[in-house]
Chain A
Amino acid sequence: GQNIDQPTEMTATEGAIVQINCTYQTSGFNGLFWYQQHAGEAPTFLSYNVLDGLEEKGRFSSFLSRSKGYSYLLLKELQMKDSASYLCAVRDTAGGYQKVTFGIGTKLQVIP
């Protein structure tokens, strides 16, 4: 099975930088995803990591350490519209199939 842990809530100031951490345990790791979900909407894809290191995409970056079972999502130059829930998800191919499991999500509130 899988266990994904991330903080339930965070607050940050507009224009600042925030780091959302995610730790996971899985038997057949095959990729880690970050999704953004605004209240009442479907999740939208932000990033994907399968190898160790940092992936940068505009204001968002995602880091992965497979040996530590750890990832973070870094959001720079925060904007009010970044207030949303950020979901960490892990793909597991144990058993040969593709199962993507989500964490509980971190609700980020950006304040002026």
Chain B
Amino acid sequence: DTGVSQDPRHKITKRGQNVTFRCDPISEHNRLYWYRQTLGQGPEFLTYFQNEAQLEKSRLLSDRFSAERPKGSFSTLEIQRTEQGDSAMYLCASSPLTGSGANVLTFGAGSRLTVL
């Protein structure tokens, strides 16, 4: 297994466009998290999946953001009508549900979004 994969690594878009990011977690990991990180800040929680169920979504998250994990494997994060304030690194992390690894979030390299 190559770890958590995210695609694309970099995305530059114009304000008002829609963007979609994909995350492929480690294959046996049931839990999947999306975070957003801006320069000088810690990762900000966006949403959490356990298998295909989206169990938690940040109240700070605009309705322009939506995430799916249709088969409990890969996940997508879509941002509609992007704004300049959406510019950030979008991080995906995963962990198993049980066992000692359940206490470790493994992060992907992130998808950096720049909105012009």
Contact = CB atoms under 8 A, between A and B. Distances in A.
Interface in B31-67: 31, 33, 35, 40-45, 48, 50, 55-56
Contact of A104 (B35, B42, B91): B42
Question: What band does the interface of chain B fall in when counting residues whose beta carbon is under 8 Å from A?
Answer: 20 to 34
A102 B43 contact: yes
B55 A42 contact: no
Say whether chain A's binding surface is mostly helix, strand, loop, or mixed. Answer: strand
A87 B43 CA distance: 9
Q: What interface size band does chain A fall in?
A: 20 to 34
A83 B45 CA distance: 25
Interface of B: 31, 33, 35, 40-45, 48, 50, 55-56, 91, 103-110
11 contacts: A4-B42, A33-B103, A42-B109, A43-B105, A43-B107, A45-B104, A50-B103, A97-B56, A98-B55, A100-B105, A102-B44
